[in-house]
Structure 1
Amino acid sequence: MPTPQLPDELLANVARRATARLARADRPFIAERILGVAGHRIRDPRLKADVLGEAAEAQLARGVTPRHLIPAYAAELACADLHLKAGRKKEAAAAFSKAVQLAFHRVPHVDRLVSPLSDDPARFTAPLRASTVARAVAAPRGRALPAAEPPKDRPLRLLLVTRGNANFLRLITERYADHPAVELRTLDLASDPDLSPLAKGLGRMVGLPLGAQAGYQAQVEAALRPHLDWADTIFVEWCTTAAAFVTLVDPGTTRIVVRLHKFETFTYWPHIMDFSRVDDVVFIAEHMRDMTTSAVPRLLKDKAPRLHFLHNALDLRHFSRPKQDDARFTVGLVGIGQIAKDPLWALEVIRLLRRQDPRYRLLMVGQGFSPETSPAAAAYHTSLERNLAELEASGAVRRVGPTKDVPGILTEVGVILSSSVREGCHVGLMEGAASGAVPVVRDWPFVAGRRHSARTLFPGDWIVTTPQQAAERILSVTASEEVRSAAGLAASEYALREWDWMNVQGTYDRLLLGDDGDINSPVDNALGKADLQ
């Protein structure tokens, strides 16, 4: 028997009461079900979006991933589509911006140990592919001319672009600053007085392809054109604000290369970019390439950028130093500034080890994360500090803050641990391996069991799935100093061979400078889109 349609106002009141209940309930299942049913039956698009959005924001404010996050941001996208259909371009841009800011809020993707995007990238981003506005924002606007081949009669003019974060550019910058075949310039959009005020504002960047920002279009064109006219190739670090900004204008014959690390995949930036103006996208890990192309499948379409996998630029040789005498029993965790590092998992490992031998201890290196970023971060921080208070008092854990002498600190470490739920490549782990510490790597849950994961990035015997397995591996490889030293030497040799800049820099040369004129094969085993589908 059909259920009668209740008035939207009544359904909205029911839904809002359920939302109020969510804020007080430890077990919100019934309230969520009521909210879902009422929200689904509201017919007015604006009211539906408001009700579901308010409920989602209430949950996010508690540090909880909303059960109805996808319907909530989809409802806001529906409003954006209606605005665009009626010719209200500014309103469409505003509603779209609100939708993606809700969808990619940091609580579901950054401040928790699971993410709905990593669980099912295609499902989570499906509303974006169904939205008229989303498709219009990212629609290929193309370029009037193809990117030119590298010049043969003069050095390549290479422009490195970032916006405030050049952490992984130092070695690349140094190499091409001194390269006889390159004329190098760098551009930080955050500090450039002309570009800084333009290279911000999601609403403007979204409104421009919708035709709502003609004045902004002219400003961006005038500010970027001198850089585009000078450069043969622009290498944009991070697939976020800078990459989206650069692709707002036709690059002319300048080749555009964008490097994506990990963070960007969990943001809205790849979803608003015009990839038809990007020639090459560089991933630092195969599993991040897989996840990103699942979330943004137009990267696999015809006329999409070439996709490459190149290791990060890491200077690992100076990490190889003699270990201190008691390093055998010290487990190192380098980099603890994000919840994704999951240091609580590492604490469970050290507890298990100390039940067997109280000489084992954990050395935590780096700046901790701020509990102020969100309620989810605050909850994890509280639990971590409570556990650390006990373990530090017993000598099981020692914390070292940020240090410029990571190689020196690693001389104390005999085993290097990756306890993370997700990583791009985990630089701290790679540096530890280069130092001769024996690696123990959690099978990162965000990508575990997939075609590419920690198991395809690292040797299989480095990988564990549980704290118990981690403890067992550590006990095995530290059975004696001779055993530990031999395993550490093998790890160091592997790290230097696979990831040190001296061995990786040639792949960047082939990407940026070309190899016998072939810029389409920057790695020995070039990646084809067919291989990813």
Structure 2
Amino acid sequence: YSQRVAPSQKLVVRVHLQEIDLPYLRTVKMEAVDTFIFVGELIRRAAVEGHGVPEGRSVVVPNFVRTEHLARPKTDRARNTLGLVGIVPQRKRLDLAVDLVGRLHREDPSYRLRIKGRRPEEYPWMEKRPDEMAYYREQYERIEQLNQDAGEDIIIFDPQGDDMAEWYQEIGIVLSTSDFESFHLTLADGAASGSDAVSLAWDGADLIYPDSILFADIKTMAGALLDPEAAERRRSDLQSVISSFDERRVFERFSELLFAGAAR
């Protein structure tokens, strides 16, 4: 598109995390692009410094959150139910989520974990990653053992689906255990649904989310989850930032970038 855009046209490019590790940005005719959009500040900086994206034409627009759609009453069992959305690829760190729920369940048997989304064996391309599939098989064995030891399913897999608002009604705490994310929408969606949220402090998380929900490791995260006062602080801090992700505000920003002003 950048090689063919006409003078009367406007070209806006939204860059995703995986494109930072691929060569395509370097093939873009930079002067032909009016605006480059990123969901997080760290990814924007990486594109500017590593791929030559013009800083003056790069902006951060967060992922949008359907705040009104997600704001629904929780079920009785939601309070100590953790939710993890997406476990593929390995950098999502299912192993750490299993560590966390195991640690919490030893302190309070009411804790459990629900995992939403496709499993690795449902992706054909995962067959080409034997080491990664071995990792998942190991986690499945751990989950099976934890469930057996508990005498019930404390880790539950829920299928991929567009029933996210209903699913979040069952979730009291949303979780990010990833090595790295550009935004991790689960944290924002969960907070909008009224859930608590906790995350490992992957690079750039502090540029998007409040420090109170970010943790260096699973041990400190578990300790904070067992502290009711800390949970109230996290909820309050989250609500102060979630409004900026509201779909109406994000769409207004997109409209400004797409339609305001004349084309080149």
TM-score normalised according to structure 2 size: 0.88
| Number of equivalent positions | 256
User: Is residue 392 from structure 1 mapped to residue 147 from structure 2 by the alignment?
Assistant: yes
Q: Which residue of 2 aligns with 1:423?
A: 181
Q: Which residue of 2 aligns with 1:263?
A: 18
Residues 118-157 of structure 1 aligned to structure 2 (within 5 Å): none
Query: What is the percentage of aligned positions where both structures have the same residue?
Result: 25
SS state at 2:156 partner:
strand
Pairwise CA RMSD of aligned residues? Answer: 2.3
Q: Which residue of 2 aligns with 1:308?
A: 59
SS state at 2:110 partner:
coil
Is this contact kept in 2: 1:328–1:414, CA < 8 A?
yes
Query: Alpha carbons of 1:373 and 1:495: their partners in 2 closer, same or farther (altered >3 Å)?
Result: farther
Aligned equivalents of 1:417, 1:343: Cα separation in 2: 11
What is the letter of the counterpart of residue 299 of structure 1?
V
Structure 1 residue 489 displacement after superposition: 5.4
Q: Which segments of structure 1 move beyond 4 Å, counting only runs of 4 or more? A: 486-489
What is the letter of the counterpart of residue 425 of structure 1?
F
Q: Which residue of 2 aligns with 1:95?
A: none
User: Is residue 505 from structure 1 mapped to residue 251 from structure 2 by the alignment?
Assistant: yes
Choose which of 346, 361, 375 in structure 1 pairs with 2:112.
361
- What whole-Å deviation, never above 9, does each CA across 1:349-377 have from its counterpart, x for those lacking one? 11111221122111111112244142342
User: Is residue 457 from structure 1 mapped to residue 215 from structure 2 by the alignment?
Assistant: no
- What whole-Å deviation, never above 9, does each CA across 1:8-60 have from its counterpart, x for those lacking one? xxxxxxxxxxxxxxxxxxxxxxxxxxxxxxxxxxxxxxxxxxxxxxxxxxxxx
Query: Alpha carbons of 1:250 and 1:329: their partners in 2 closer, same or farther (altered >3 Å)?
Result: closer
Aligned equivalents of 1:498, 1:335: Cα separation in 2: 24
Structure 1 residue 259 displacement after superposition: 0.5
Choose which of 133, 137, 159 in structure 2 pairs with 1:401.
159
Structure 1 residue 488 displacement after superposition: 7.2
TM-score normalised according to structure 1 size: 0.45
Residues 463-482 of structure 1 aligned to structure 2 (within 5 Å): 463-477=214-228
Is this contact kept in 1: 2:212–2:234, CA < 8 A?
no
Aligned equivalents of 2:140, 2:28: Cα separation in 1: 40
User: Is residue 438 from structure 1 mapped to residue 193 from structure 2 by the alignment?
Assistant: no
Aligned equivalents of 1:335, 1:491: Cα separation in 2: 25
What is the letter of the counterpart of residue 403 of structure 1?
G
Query: Alpha carbons of 1:358 and 1:287: their partners in 2 closer, same or farther (altered >3 Å)?
Result: same
SS state at 1:372 partner:
helix
> Is the deviation greater in 368-377 or in 413-422?
368-377
What is the letter of the counterpart of residue 247 of structure 2?
W
Is this contact kept in 2: 1:439–1:491, CA < 8 A?
no
Q: Which residue of 1 aligns with 2:88?
A: 337
SS state at 1:299 partner:
coil
User: Is residue 249 from structure 1 mapped to residue 4 from structure 2 by the alignment?
Assistant: yes
SS state at 2:166 partner:
helix
SS state at 1:248 partner:
coil
Structure 1 residue 508 displacement after superposition: 1.7
Is this contact kept in 2: 1:319–1:407, CA < 8 A?
yes
Question: Please, which runs of 5 or more residues in structure 1 have no aligned partner?
Answer: 1-245, 448-452, 520-533
Q: Which residue of 2 aligns with 1:81?
A: none
Q: Which residue of 2 aligns with 1:126?
A: none
Residues 46-125 of structure 1 aligned to structure 2 (within 5 Å): none
Aligned equivalents of 2:178, 2:159: Cα separation in 1: 19
SS state at 2:120 partner:
coil
Aligned equivalents of 1:324, 1:494: Cα separation in 2: 24
Structure 1 residue 491 displacement after superposition: 5.8
Q: Which residue of 1 aligns with 2:41?
A: 286
Aligned equivalents of 1:284, 1:310: Cα separation in 2: 5
Structure with the bigger RCO (C-alpha within 8 Å, sep 6+) is 2
Is this contact kept in 1: 2:176–2:199, CA < 8 A?
yes
Aligned equivalents of 1:312, 1:276: Cα separation in 2: 26
Q: Which residue of 2 aligns with 1:299?
A: 53
Aligned equivalents of 1:436, 1:487: Cα separation in 2: 13
Aligned equivalents of 1:321, 1:487: Cα separation in 2: 21
Larger Rg computed on CA atoms:
1
Q: Which residue of 2 aligns with 1:327?
A: 78
Structure 1 residue 386 displacement after superposition: 2.1
What is the letter of the counterpart of residue 462 of structure 1?
I
Is this contact kept in 2: 1:335–1:341, CA < 8 A?
yes
Choose which of 106, 126, 138 in structure 2 pairs with 1:383.
138
